[in-house]
Amino acid sequence: MTLNNLTDLQVEQLRRSLLQWYNKQGRDLPWRRTTDPYPIWVSEIMLQQTQVKTVIPYYERWLIQFSTISQVAQAELQTVLKAWEGLGYYARGRNLHKAAQVVTQIYESRFPDQLEKVLALPGIGRTTAGGILSAAFNQPISILDGNVKRVLSRLIALPVIPTEALSELWALSDRLLDPDQPRDFNQALMDLGATVCTRSQPNCVECPWNFACEAYNKKIQNQLPIRKMSVPLPHKRIGVAVIFNDEGLILIDRRPEGGLLGGLWEFPGGKIEPNETVEQCVEREILEEIGIAIAVGENLITIDHAYTHFRVTLQVHLCRYVSGTPQTIECDEIRWVSLDEIDQFPVPKANSQIITALKERDRLNNLVK
């Protein structure tokens, strides 16, 4: 089967079988119990790059903290990022905050129901817009997230990498979408990808589309979609300083808003250059970035962490402030905080591990006293 030779009858059979399956097997997800576009929008943004089971507690906490769009708009960015802490891909939280301000100012806090207006909001692309408008307003707008790409690639046994056939996959998603039940159809398609047509070991025997699926009929479902040859992720070694002053306070800084992990707080540090020890790196970086001299002490913890495009190893050292006035040379803000206060600040995941290690060290020190 290809998009071009798909008959109206086949399309009708595919719609009917998927919707019947969804009526019996569809997941009961919290954002499916409403047609209010605000919580649906929040869920769609959280679900970009993150699995349902991780999203649910964040989604529920979010709606308790920010029950309306205007509450998000009025909140400090730091408060929004704190609520997002641990979900990763923080640009999503920053964009949600910006978009909430646009919706509040331009649309009087009512989420727009026109595709071009939704697409103009920060952080909303075509598939997210389709997800929101079909779920909230039952509009016949198709979707093409990662799960749907996989299902459709297998359905037509796509012979190329999905990213090389996006217009064909979008056209297929458009063609299949049931214009009478777009909300349920899109949700069903997402569920099929998440629960049956999974990345590894798709459960074709139970699949409502097995009668028409090219990949299944050719027994190549485990080989599809075709993947790009994977190349090893670049690896960076980073020296990190936990700097204590004479009062026992710790220095943290806020990353510039535009870049990776923008707006989050962290312990300062930087890349270890070739032929440099971690101690030399930490001393140099803190002088260059914060403008202060420190004495580098023992290793607190070493953390390996993977981002989408690279891996890092953080070698974290306990340090003592020696001299100079901290300056915001490569960050937006600097604070001296106690270990108890640090939890109020949104930090990246790897930095949470540093805080846990500091608390554990503190606990052990108190036992010894």
Of 197, 242, 350, 358, the one binding ligand SF4 by CB under 6 A:
197
Q: Within 10 A of 30 (CB to CB), how many other CB atoms are there?
A: 14
What is residue 265's three-state secondary structure? strand
CB of 211 to ligand SF4, least distance (A): 9
Q: Is 210 in the site for ligand SF4 (CB under 6 A)?
A: yes
Annotated active-site residue 298? The verdict is: no
CB of 185 to ligand SF4, least distance (A): 15
Stretch that binds ligand SF4, among 47-55, 132-140, 202-210, 284-292 (CB under 6 A): 202-210
Peptide bond into 30 cis (omega under 30): no
CB of 151 to ligand SF4, least distance (A): 5
For ligand SF4, the closer CB: 139 or 221: 221
What is residue 341's three-state secondary structure? helix
Of the candidates 12, 44, 330, 333, the residue annotated as catalytic is 44
CB of 208 to ligand SF4, least distance (A): 8
- Which two three-digit tokens encode residue 86? 């641990």
Cα angle at 247 between 243 and 252, to 5 degrees? Answer: 35
Q: Binding mask 108-147 vs ligand SF4 (x if CB under 6 A, - otherwise)?
A: ----------------------------------------
Stretch that binds ligand SF4, among 103-111, 214-222, 300-308, 321-329 (CB under 6 A): 214-222
Q: In whole angstroms, what separates CA 59 from the centre of its chain?
A: 13
Q: Is 156 in the site for ligand SF4 (CB under 6 A)?
A: no
Instruction: State which amino acid sits at residue 330.
Output: E
Stretch that binds ligand SF4, among 96-104, 127-135, 208-216, 286-294 (CB under 6 A): 208-216
**Count of all residues that appear for the chain in the document:** 369
What is the pairing mode between strands 235-244 and 311-323?
parallel
What residue has token string 């009062």?
247
Alpha-carbon gap, residue 249 to 247, rounded angstroms: 6
Of 38, 58, 209, 345, the one binding ligand SF4 by CB under 6 A:
209
Alpha-carbon gap, residue 21 to 40, rounded angstroms: 23
Phi, psi of 251 (to 5 degrees): -90, 130
Q: Is 14 in the site for ligand SF4 (CB under 6 A)?
A: no
Of 43, 221, 315, 351, the one binding ligand SF4 by CB under 6 A:
221
Q: Is 21 in the site for ligand SF4 (CB under 6 A)?
A: no
- Which two three-digit tokens encode residue 144? 């093409």
Q: Is 269 in the site for ligand SF4 (CB under 6 A)?
A: no
Q: Within 10 A of 209 (CB to CB), how many other CB atoms are there?
A: 21
Q: Is 215 in the site for ligand SF4 (CB under 6 A)?
A: yes
Q: Is 41 in the site for ligand SF4 (CB under 6 A)?
A: no
For ligand SF4, the closer CB: 198 or 245: 198
Contact 314, 342 (CB under 8 A): no
Stretch that binds ligand SF4, among 197-205, 244-252, 290-298, 300-308 (CB under 6 A): 197-205
What residue has token string 């503190």?
362
Contact 367, 331 (CB under 8 A): no
Alpha-carbon gap, residue 238 to 305, rounded angstroms: 11
Residues that bind ligand SF4 (CB under 6 A): 151, 154-155, 196-197, 202, 204, 207, 209-210, 213, 215-216, 221
Annotated active-site positions, please?
A: 44
